[in-house]
Structure formats: C-alpha cells, structure tokens
Amino acid sequence: MAPPSSSSTTTSAPEAPNLQKKTIRLNGKGAEKVQDGSPELKRDPIEVKYRDFFWTYTEEPHRTRRLAIIKAHPEVTKLCGPEPLTIVVVLGVVALQVFCAYVLRDTPFFSLRYWLLAYVVGATANQNLFMAIHEISHNLAFRSPTANRLFAIVANLPIGIPYSASFRPYHLTHHKSLGVDGLDTDLPTALEALFLDSILGKAFFCTFQIFFYAVRPMCVYAVPFTWVSALNVLAQAAFDLAVLRALGPAAMLYFLLSSFLAGSLHPLAGHFIAEHYVYEAVTPAQRDPASRLPVPETYSYYGPLNFLVYNVGLHNEHHDFPAVPWTRLPRLNRLAAEFYDDLPHHRSWTYVLWRFIFDESVGIRCRVKRKEGGRLVGQRSDWKKNELEA
C-alpha cells in the first residue's frame, strides 16, 4: 500500500531578502518551495519533535467546508437521510456472530482454531458492529430517532458489553466539539501522552486501545443515564445470560475476545488512529494562520477495507456531512471532488498502525486541540461552568 502524502512546506509572507526563512522538516524529510514572485532566499531546515499537542484557536474545518460544498453543489443535500440496507447488514452480522459462538461452544479457549476464528471473523464482525452503532448514532438506519436508539441495542448484543446508549452523546459531542479539550473524548489526555508517547507506549496503546476508548470518556465527563441506557444494560445482561446458559462460557468469551481483538492490532482498528492523528505537515494554504499548526485534523482513508466498516474511512466526508449514510459517501466524494482530492489521506490502515508505533514523528500528542468552542450534546450548554463553580 502506498503511504499517505508526505510533502510539507512552511513558507510565510514575503520578507526582506536579507532575512532567513525556516522549513519545518518532519519525518526526516524537508521540502522547500518558493512562492511565486518571492525572491530566492536561503533556507535553514530544522528538525521538529512534537512535545505538545497542536493547539489552535480557529474553528474546526468541517462546517466551513460543508457550507462551501453546499454553495457549489446544492444537490448534495439530497444525499442525506436513512439507509435501510444498514438494518439488513446489522441483522446478518449479529446472526453470523451467534453462529460462530455456537460453533466454538465446545472449543478450548487457548486453541489455535478458537483464536483464528475470533481474529479473522469475530474481530471483523464486531468492528463492523462498532461502526454500525456509529452509523445508527446519526439516525441513519431509521427515520425515527427512538427506533435508531433501540436498534443500536440490537447491534450491541454480540459485543458483549453495553455501550451503545452512552456512545451516542459522546460521539455527537465529538462532532459538535471536534478537538475541544474537555469535550471531545476522542482526544488522548495529557496523562496518556505523558506515559505512552514512546515506541513501547504506542505499541501498548494500539494493543489495548479498545479499553482507552471505553474508559477515557467516563474519566472526562459523565453522560446522563436514561431509559435507553437502562434498556441497553438490561438487554445486554439478558443476552449474555442466555448465551452462557445455552452455549456455555466458551461462546460468551468468543464475543468478548472478538471485541478486544477488533480494537487491538487488527487492520480494521487502524481507523481509530487514522481518522484524526496528524501524520503530515501540509502546505501553507492548509495551515492554521494564527498558530501555523498542521491542519486538516481529519484524514480520510481510501482503500478496500471500507467495504467492511460502513465506509468509515471516508472520514472528512463524514464529518462534513454526518447526515449522509455510508452508501452515499462515495457519491459525495465524487460530487465534491475538488474539495477532497488534494486533502492528505491514507491508503492503508495497517501502515497507519505500523507507522504510529515506530515513527518518532507520529505519536500520542499528534492531535489538534482547542481550548474553547463546541458544545456538549445531551446536557445543558452551561454544564462546564456549573462543574467549575462546584
């Protein structure tokens, strides 16, 4: 697989000819380019190692691009709306996982057959269900919001642990508050960066990232426990108990192992890191004018594995238009090609994981953060002020 685009240029406004400009060189590579009409100046390449997150003071880029795309292509709004095919796919994958648990009911947990099936089929299927819940959280399976929330509980069943009800407010807040420190729970915390920004630390993070994404949100803030949350817990407990009694512990462990492997060193798990970690410096036109930090902060992936996970790799497209379902995201990309073709992107999630672990220029701190902006979904807008006063 070809790596993502890696060129980087950091030129500034024209200066006096006797001054030097500096080119920020990432990954051991430097690209020098003179803007049209500017004099040829001596450049001094310097190595940059990230010691902090990329702090910015501008709003996230997706709203601006969405408005520009709608202005250029008004017909794009016709792509929005539910996709009934999601219902069929979810029911099929849930049935597949129950069948695999049945097949393994008498298979020893530490056998090669057990782990191969869990890694190849189980992890792929549960990652598919993770992304189904992601899709459903945007009300893209049914027209009724309540029907979507209830159906997400069905998609949750083979995952083994109830989380679909709480995922929705956390994820919608991620969209409304992209990069906002203390709101966007997709962001690694300062504590994670302190202990995990090394090769061994990043390897540990990639191996156990499913636990980080499960525990981190609850450590940042709590979402309300609603009747949907209660139903999510009760339905999951009933399902798990039924599996234990009918098929035995080996079948139940299959679901849990599938969920762990889906968020571990698995090709599909690369999307967690590929979506928002900054891998490359970009051209001046794509850099934040105030802080001169690398943007965009969202990367798409254009590769065959999108077929297995509801096209979640088309992540710039998804953040620009969260109401466009997975089956229509490729059409959005083609319709607004002039907005997407030049954005940095990935072509291999496996390479994303490999480079994240071993490339010193990519790490836990390679995320864009904001101090302010956004809003919390599902609670009062003044929640943060009230918490600080308490």
Mean pLDDT of 258-287: 83
Q: Which of 92-96, 107-111, 162-166, 359-363 has the lowest mean pLDDT?
A: 359-363
In this structure, is residue 107 part of a structural domain? yes
Distance CA 207, CA 139 (A): 31
Q: Which residue did the predictor score with more confidence, 384 or 136?
A: 136
Q: Please name which of 218, 130, 205, 217 lies closest in space to residue 174, comparing C-alpha atoms.
A: 217
Inform me whether the pLDDT recorded for 200 exceeds 70: yes
Mean pLDDT for the chain? 84
In this structure, is residue 43 part of a structural domain? no
Taking CB atoms within 8 Å and a gap of at least 24, the contacts of 99-102 are 100/125, 100/254, 101/158, 101/243, 101/247, 101/251, 101/252, 101/254, 101/255, 102/247, 102/251
In this structure, is residue 384 part of a structural domain? no
Task: Give the tens place of pLDDT for each residue, 108-162.
Answer: 999 999 999 999 999 999 999 999 999 999 999 999 999 999 999 999 999 999 9
What lies within 8 Å, CB to CB, of 177 at 6+ separation is 183, 184, 373, 374, 375, 376
Distance CA 370, CA 254 (A): 40
In this structure, is residue 291 part of a structural domain? yes
The whole-number pLDDT of residue 51 equals 62
The whole-number pLDDT of residue 290 equals 53
Parent domain of 141: 52-374
Which amino acid does the sequence have at 18? N
In this structure, is residue 97 part of a structural domain? yes
Mean pLDDT of 293-316: 90
What lies within 8 Å, CB to CB, of 378 at 6+ separation is 168, 169, 172, 173, 223, 224
Cis status of the peptide bond prior to 296, with omega within 30 of 0: yes
The whole-number pLDDT of residue 77 equals 96
CB 250 within 8 A of CB 107: yes
pTM of the model: 0.82
Q: Which residue did the predictor score with more confidence, 224 or 388?
A: 224
SS3 category, 183: coil
Task: Give the tens place of pLDDT for each residue, 46-71.
Answer: 233 456 888 888 888 999 999 999 99
Inform me whether the pLDDT recorded for 45 exceeds 70: no
Q: How many angstroms separate the Cα of 5 from the Cα of each of 273, 333, 377?
A: 16, 18, 34
Work out the burial of residue 203: count CB atoms within 10 Å of its CB; fewer than 13 is exposed, 13-18 middle, 19 or more buried: middle
In this structure, is residue 387 part of a structural domain? no
Provide the number of structural domains found in the chain.
1
Task: Give the tens place of pLDDT for each residue, 339-357.
Answer: 999 999 999 999 999 999 9
In this structure, is residue 303 part of a structural domain? yes
**193 band by pLDDT with thresholds 50, 70 and 90:** very high
Q: Which of 32-36, 57-61, 188-192, 213-217 has the lowest mean pLDDT?
A: 32-36
Q: Please name which of 367, 205, 213 lies closest in space to residue 298, comparing C-alpha atoms.
A: 367
- Other CB atoms within a 10 A radius of the CB of residue 232 amount to 23
In this structure, is residue 17 part of a structural domain? no
Task: Give the tens place of pLDDT for each residue, 248-267.
Answer: 999 999 999 999 999 999 99
Instruction: Render 37-70 in DSSP notation, one character per residue.
Output: TPPP--B--EE----S-EEE-SPPHHHHHHHHHH
